[in-house]
Amino acid sequence: MTGAPTAIYLDHQATTPVDPRVLDAMLPWFSETFGNAHSEQHAWGRQAAEAVDAAREQVARLIGAEAREIVCTSGATESNNLAIKGATRFALRHGRGRHIVTLASEHKCVLEACAAMEDEGAEVTVLPVGADGLADVQTIVEAIRDDTVLVSVMAVNNEIGVVQPLAEIGTLCRERGVLFHADAAQATGKIALDVDAMKIDLLSISGHKVYAPKGIGALYVRRRPRARLLAEISGGGQERGMRSGTLPVPLVVALGEAAEVAGEGLAREGENLAALRARMLARLQDSLDGVFVNGSMERRVPGNLNVGFTGVNAETLMADVPELAISTGSACTSASVEPSYVLKALGLSDADAGASVRIGFGRFTTENEVDAAAEMIVRAVQEQRAGGSARAAE
């Protein structure tokens, strides 16, 4: 085995480990009590279907929804595609509008899904965000038109962790009769969400960002007033016609358990993560000059820190700390050498965007790990700056 276990994992916005409680809940469903949840005519199928129902209930409870409003998907990317394309296609087909409003800092899959709708006749308004990464509710008000179908705003940004003003946007959308979709992949189980209080019509959930495995997610689809979607995957008509395909029972069970575990520990875990983050930031700022935080620090999930080191190349920094897993942006685009479009949307220069890293703390992160990681980063930044000035002096 390569030495991953001794390394420190601080990339919890890319993916999280599977919680042992989640693992225990899901494992029996692979072989001991396996079944196709749609084979409700026999005991195996009914058993699987009951497990799926219970899990749906657990997921619904975390966001203040009803179980029958939860559509299981393969993950948040599929949920976002289904929400945006499904709602827009339904509107296009029935002549109920053709305009989408979203933000420049959304996840790539939201922006790509919107772009795909442009090819099918929709129009998309991509709004800027402020230097703090937050959406300006007034610009959303102004962007909504008579033919607007949907406003899609992420609950929590995947790179900078800022929490958008969901309730305000939701209230506004409801007043204007526009659907409100929130990509909550980074928010579910991290901040309190209530689809009724926040007037959210569609909400995307990811399993592997909340200590369940990869390959499972969900889309909340409001029943009253009803959000209507055209399916992306057709066939057996599962998930009330919105998403065909055999449900992966162990994964659905895992998502349910993960939702329950996250809901129970939400406040306590938030405090822990905030303390770990404060510890990291203090260590960095105490030892280094030119440390800047990207995005609002006040309106931010506790597990996220996006921090830049003036004059430093973040790619080089990451390569210099091979024992530490941090990232320079979203994992989906991490092979790209372009500076983060999210940081650019905040108005950062290429140099500052390229000097920034995302540090993501998680449920099992310890103070010792934070201290060790801070030390590694400080040393690497100091060495890079020293090397850089030595080269400049030559």
Instruction: Give the catalytic positions in this structure.
Output: 332
Binding status of residue 324 toward another protein by CB under 8 A: yes
Binding status of residue 332 toward another protein by CB under 8 A: yes
Q: Tell me the three-class secondary structure of 297-313, residue by residue.
A: CCCECCCEEEEEECCCC
Instruction: Considering the complex, state which of residue 14 and residue 59 has its C-beta at the smaller distance from another protein.
Output: 14
Q: At its nearest, how many Å lie between another protein and the CB of residue 11?
A: 6
Q: At its nearest, how many Å lie between another protein and the CB of residue 147?
A: 23
- CA separation, residue 40 to residues 36, 45, 274, 320 (Å): 8, 5, 45, 55
Binding footprint of another protein, residue count (CB under 8 A) = 75
Q: At its nearest, how many Å lie between another protein and the CB of residue 25?
A: 12
Tell me which of 182, 273, 326, 376 binds another protein, using CB under 8 A.
326
Number of residues that make up the chain: 394
Place of tokens 């998680």: 362
- CA separation, residue 181 to residues 86, 94, 204 (Å): 11, 20, 8
Place of tokens 């959308």: 173
* Residues in 119-138 at the binding interface with another protein, rule: CB under 8 A: none
* Residues in 214-253 at the binding interface with another protein, rule: CB under 8 A: 214-216, 232-238, 244-251
Place of tokens 């991509």: 126
Tell me which of 16, 152, 157, 164 binds another protein, using CB under 8 A.
16
Tell me which of 57, 66, 112, 147 binds another protein, using CB under 8 A.
112
| Binding window for another protein (CB under 8 A); candidates: 39-47, 140-148, 220-228, 378-386 | 39-47
* Residues in 74-93 at the binding interface with another protein, rule: CB under 8 A: 74-78, 80-81
Tell me if 182 sits within 8 A of 202, measured CB to CB: yes
Mask of contacts with another protein, 177-216, x by CB under 8 A? -----------------------------x-x----xxxx
Q: At its nearest, how many Å lie between another protein and the CB of residue 42?
A: 4
DSSP 247-314: --HHHHHHHHHHHHHHHHHHHHHHHHHHHHHHHHHHHHHHH-SSEEE-S-SSSB-TTEEEEEETT--H
Q: Which two tokens stand for residue 61?
A: 């409870």
